[in-house]
């Protein structure tokens, strides 16, 4: 008998994502770079072995330059080279706890 294991669906939390977007880009801040584009909410992709999106409460704040590189191509965008991004900035999952701490301080 084989069990059909389905991973739990990622929890949606639009209020959390809105708070993430209020923060500055965690990479620009940590590496002394100037943020040239709005903050977006990035769902971590390092260590993910499926196409399922990570839960909203794991999202981190990235400017477009560090996230998609759609209209700010002055920086290294994670979705244009996640291995190179990790070599330079670390795993995106490493930024989750600091993001949660900042959001917790915002709500006090």
For 58-97, what is each residue's pLDDT tens digit? 999 999 999 999 989 899 999 999 999 999 999 999 999 9
Q: Considering the domain boundaries, does residue 64 fall inside one?
A: yes
Name the pLDDT band for 15 (thresholds 50, 70, 90): very high
Q: Considering the domain boundaries, does residue 8 fall inside one?
A: no
Entry pTM:
0.86
H/E segment holding residue 84: helix 82-89
95 alpha carbon, distance to own chain's centre: 8
Q: Considering the domain boundaries, does residue 4 fall inside one?
A: no
Q: Considering the domain boundaries, does residue 1 fall inside one?
A: no
Domain count, the chain: 1
Lookup: tokens for 56: 């909203």
Q: Considering the domain boundaries, does residue 86 fall inside one?
A: yes
pLDDT for residue 10: 65
Q: Considering the domain boundaries, does residue 7 fall inside one?
A: no
Domain encompassing residue 23:
14-106
What is the C-alpha to C-alpha distance for residues 63 and 35, in angstroms, rounded to an integer? 7
């Amino acid at each position: 008998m084989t069990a059909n294991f389905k991973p739990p669906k990622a929890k949606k939390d639009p209020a959390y994502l809105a708070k993430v977007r209020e923060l500055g880009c965690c990479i620009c801040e940590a590496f002394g770079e100037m943020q040239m584009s709005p903050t977006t909410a990035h769902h971590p992709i390092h260590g993910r072995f499926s196409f399922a999106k990570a839960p909203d409460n794991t999202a981190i704040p990235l400017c477009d330059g560090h996230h998609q590189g759609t209209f700010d191509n002055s920086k290294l965008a994670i979705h244009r080279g996640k291995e190179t991004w990790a070599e330079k900035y670390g795993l995106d999952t490493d930024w989750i706890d600091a993001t949660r701490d900042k959001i917790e301080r915002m709500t006090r």
